[in-house]
């Protein structure tokens, strides 16, 4: 496989670990990265070690006063956010010697995208149509390549499907929900379903301990809060960092989720595995402990061709971290999508329709 030059939009926990994991994989070169404060672009290849060292503990996250600015990752919104960490006068990616300040970081990467094979969007989707709108911007710029996201919410899939004709016309191969869940676990469910001719239920139960810490995963935690009873995406977006920390303390550092609006359901239905209503997703996020609070499992119950009812269960080892289970698959799906794109296979795909590369 030829070298894949890729960009990462967002350098929070997921974006940072994508850059790090990619250094352990063959055939991948990170050439661009951005956050709300700035952008780093080097088509010869970024110095990933320097970039990660410079931005450690320097993550921007928090409610924005201007959603229109925030949608493009604007530096103004970041400066107004309570969650911005600073090293000296620099914030976020501008702390790196490779970074430069800009008010239009996503636009800056789009302007360079003719030399980029794949773009991983590691952005908390704090507006339902944020990621679909970013994808549309790449298409409007006639980008020909791969887009990958790790989005979580079911309704966003339909928004991407509404834009599929535009993406195909541009020459974009888009793999959506390509992290752990949806993503890796969605694909595992699709494989586990092959024993059956009819699926009764798919149950995904996950456990995450934040080894890399809350400071490095603020956006992810904020988005997860939107799935708690009594909360939604709008209330989670408007919460201050102090309010989030109080909520975490009130729950003893553990947030438990049931019947989440997770894209696994529509992605499995899209792949013809089962009806979306037959899929349930829940789990426990422990923000204070490294150890997983519960074992991550996928259970698929169905009926075989000879009338037997059974349950196939896929289980992740507790030693594999959230970062390993999100970023490894995301890179694998990116590799597979690049091969599809180079073969002229464009459109929107889910993780149950594509086998990730290694």
Which residues are the active-site residues? 152, 223, 227
Which residues share a beta bridge with 303?
Answer: 198, 309
| Contact criterion met (CB below 8 Å) for 269 and 202 | no
Q: Is the dihedral of CA 344, 162, 327, 60 positive or negative?
A: positive
Q: How far apart are CA 149 and CA 40, in angstroms?
A: 20
Q: Which residues are within 8 A (CB) of 121 and not within 5 positions of it... i.e. 6 or more apart? A: 9, 10, 131, 134, 135, 147, 148, 149, 150
Whole-angstrom CA distances from 146 to 156, 176, 261, 289, 344 are: 18, 11, 26, 36, 11
| Contact criterion met (CB below 8 Å) for 101 and 38 | yes
Q: How far apart are CA 275 and CA 144, in angstroms?
A: 33
Residue recorded with tokens 């060292």: 53
Question: Residues of 227-255 as b/e, b for ≥16 C-beta within 10 angstroms?
Answer: bbeeeebeebbebebeebeebbeeeeeeb
| Contact criterion met (CB below 8 Å) for 81 and 109 | no
| Contact criterion met (CB below 8 Å) for 119 and 147 | yes
User: 312: helix, coil or strand?
Assistant: strand
For residue 309, count other CB atoms closer than 10 A to its CB. Answer: 11
């Amino acid at each position: 496989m030829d070298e894949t030059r890729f960009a990462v939009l967002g350098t929070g926990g997921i974006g940072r670990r994508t850059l790090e994991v990619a250094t352990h994989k063959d055939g991948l070169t990170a050439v661009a990265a951005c956050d709300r404060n700035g952008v780093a672009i080097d088509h010869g290849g970024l110095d990933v070690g320097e970039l990660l060292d410079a931005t450690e503990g320097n993550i921007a996250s928090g409610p924005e006063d201007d959603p229109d600015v925030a949608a493009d990752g604007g530096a103004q919104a970041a400066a107004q956010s309570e969650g911005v960490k600073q090293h000296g006068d620099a914030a976020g990616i501008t702390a790196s010697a490779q970074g430069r300040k800009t008010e239009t970081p996503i636009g800056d990467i789009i302007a360079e995208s003719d030399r980029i094979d794949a773009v991983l969007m590691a952005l908390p989707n704090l507006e339902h149509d944020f990621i679909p709108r970013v994808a549309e911007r790449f298409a409007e710029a006639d980008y020909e390549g791969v887009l990958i996201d790790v989005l979580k919410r079911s309704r966003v899939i339909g928004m991407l499907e509404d834009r599929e004709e535009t993406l195909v016309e541009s020459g974009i191969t888009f793999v959506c929900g390509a992290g752990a869940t949806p993503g890796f676990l969605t694909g595992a469910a699709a494989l586990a379903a092959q024993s059956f001719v009819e699926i009764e239920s798919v149950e995904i139960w996950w456990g995450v301990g934040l080894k890399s810490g809350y400071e490095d995963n603020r956006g992810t935690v904020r988005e997860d809060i939107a799935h708690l009873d009594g909360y939604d995406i709008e209330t989670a977006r408007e919460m201050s960092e102090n309010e989030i920390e109080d909520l975490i303390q009130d729950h003893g550092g553990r947030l438990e989720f049931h019947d989440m609006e997770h894209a696994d359901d529509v992605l499995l239905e899209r792949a013809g595995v089962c009806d979306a209503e037959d899929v349930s997703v829940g789990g426990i996020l422990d923000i204070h402990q490294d150890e997983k609070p519960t074992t991550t499992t996928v259970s698929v119950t169905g009926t075989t061709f000879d009338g037997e009812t059974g349950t196939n269960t896929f289980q992740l080892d507790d030693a594999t971290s959230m970062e390993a289970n999100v970023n490894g698959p995301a890179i694998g799906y990116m590799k597979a999508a690049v091969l599809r794109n180079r073969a002229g296979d464009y459109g929107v795909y889910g993780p149950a329709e594509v086998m990730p590369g290694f």
